[in-house]
Structure 1
Amino acid sequence: MTVAPIAERGPPLPSGARAYRRIGPFGADTIPAGLLRRHDLKPGAWGLLSVTAGSIHFHWDDEAGGGRLLKTGDTMLIPPGVPHHLERQGSVTIEIAFCAP
């Protein structure tokens, strides 16, 4: 059974979208610095951030703001153009798939 990703911002992942690039796994000490500061995805690209061990805090840096503690087994859907960043919470392993229609 596949668990749907956490989706807090739109637009949703288009039907038929496929991963075109994957990065990671990254541990707490190897997460690229760019992921720890405000950034966004290019138009037409969605991200699927998967936590394979531990936990990490995901922050939305848009007008609505907010955040969520992601734990082992969670996957966050990140739509294009929505600024965000990660904050380490201790031991963690993450992977990111970049998807497009």
Structure 2
Amino acid sequence: MDAPYRSTPVFDETSLPAALRREHRTKPGVWGVIRVVEGALELRFADEGLSQILSPGAPGLVLPDQPHWVTPIGRMRMQVDFYDHAPEGIRDSAGS
């Protein structure tokens, strides 16, 4: 798998920034991969009205400029990797 150009620190349910808990989006041309290290996290997409439960074996893909937010499900640890191209091996919520 290719490497991200940037990654966030690892956040837990208490350190997860408020900005990630409310609707936001990546910049045009930037893909985000939400990787759960421990526990679970809900990823919601504003435009599609869809949600995914993310876990250590099930990362979430955020497309460029796609409005979304996350909600911790109990204790969790997560990190976001950013790519300037579609990352290999990760599918979006629509399965593409």
Give the TM-score category using the shorter length. 0.7 to 0.9
TM-score by length of 2: 0.82
The aligned residue for residue 83 of structure 1 is: 67
Matches within 5 A, 1:1-101: 18-62=3-47, 64-101=48-85
Deviations along 1:33-79, whole A, 9 cap, x unmatched? 110000011011000100110001110011x2110111222211111
RMSD over aligned Cα atoms: 1.5
Contact 1:18 / 1:100 at 8 angstroms: preserved in 2?
A: no
- Structure 1 runs (4+) greater than 3 angstroms displaced: none
Normalising by structure 1, report the TM-score: 0.78
Partner Cα distance (2:14, 2:45) in 1: 22
Aligned length: 85
Q: Distance in 1 between matches of 2:81 and 2:54?
A: 16
